[in-house]
Structure 1
Amino acid sequence: MRNRAATVIIREDKVALLKRNKGHGNYYVFAGGGIEYGETAEQAAIRETLEELGVHVELKKLLTTVPFNGTQYYFTAQIISGEFGTGNGEEFTKSSIEDGTYEAVWIPLTKISELDVRPLEVVKILMDNDSTD
């Protein structure tokens, strides 16, 4: 089990996601990854977002935690610099058939309930606009 941290970035009624294309199909995840030894969840969320999306973020608040193979921390965040879609983390440089591909995308909030966005617990929170302000 490994704790993870991720960011939920919303801009102009769209949410930043990573589109995963694996052998069994497509699904979407929030930018994030494992918390390294000596790192806080907040530090991991910021680092992983830079690696995966190519942007520096400022965390706003802890949106929720999800128990899944450890604890997953989801923070709302705002982009402060960088160029979206220029992530150069290991996911993009060591792609394999087993791992599939990753693509940074903006998805309208009105469409996320129609897609396979994981985890569903975060999607449900986002459908309630008041909780992400």
Structure 2
Amino acid sequence: MKKYIKPYYYYYYYYYFYMAEKIGIRTATIVIKDNRLLLVNSKYSDGDYYLFPGGGLESNETIEEGAIRETLEETGVEIKIEKLIHINEFIYSNDWNKRSLTIFFLAKPISIRKNNLTDDGGKIKQVEWVDISKLDEIDIRPRILADILMKAKGDFDTISLNHSVDYKHES
């Protein structure tokens, strides 16, 4: 009987670790103060653009804790989460079994501690407060969220959902 257990074990192991769809959970924050938005100006192989502060979760960390930690690490701004505002699903077209969900939270700044920035390997060029009315003048990703913010004019009663498929990573 034991000789039949191993092949099934290896099949399930292979399926769950190599064939099963991989979903990455990320968090990001939309931090607004005086009609200005906290953004990270980042440098990637496909160019420089603005991103909302955020990143992946650490083990045993809730999505809210991850959003707070990532925002503090990337910007030096301590925040208070207000509510869930947007979910972005990104499907990698160059990897059929990989996608990511980025959960965006509306947040308020509590304090600014610029000396707490974490070295991210040189991707972050600078942290900026950008006027919401000027979002259409900069390269910000995901673009659809910037458009939603400009139209909302501070009214964030609904949660939006966006699906995108691209050949390159947008985070």
Range class of TM-score, shorter chain: 0.7 to 0.9
The range that moved more, 35-44 or 22-31, is 22-31
Matched, 1:50 2:80: no
Structure 2 residue aligned with 1:90: 119
Matched, 1:109 2:132: yes
Instruction: Say if 1:35 and 1:41, in contact at 8 Å, map to a contact too.
Output: yes
Structure 1 residue aligned with 2:100: 70
Q: Which has the larger radius of gyration?
A: 2
Give the distance between the partners of 2:27 and 2:77, measured in 1 at CA: 16
Whichever residue aligns with residue 75 of structure 1, its letter is F
Runs of 4+ with deviation above 4 angstroms: none
Q: TM-score, normalised by structure 2?
A: 0.67
Whichever residue aligns with residue 90 of structure 1, its letter is D
Identity of matched residues, %: 34
The range that moved more, 44-53 or 68-77, is 68-77
Where does structure 1 lack aligned partners over 5 or more consecutive residues? none
CA RMSD for the aligned pairs? Answer: 1.8
Q: TM-score, normalised by structure 1?
A: 0.84
Instruction: Say if 2:31 and 2:38, in contact at 8 Å, map to a contact too.
Output: yes
Give the distance between the partners of 1:44 and 1:111, measured in 2 at CA: 28
Matched, 1:131 2:160: no
Instruction: Say if 1:19 and 1:103, in contact at 8 Å, map to a contact too.
Output: yes
Whichever residue aligns with residue 27 of structure 1, its letter is Y
User: How many corresponding residue pairs?
Assistant: 126
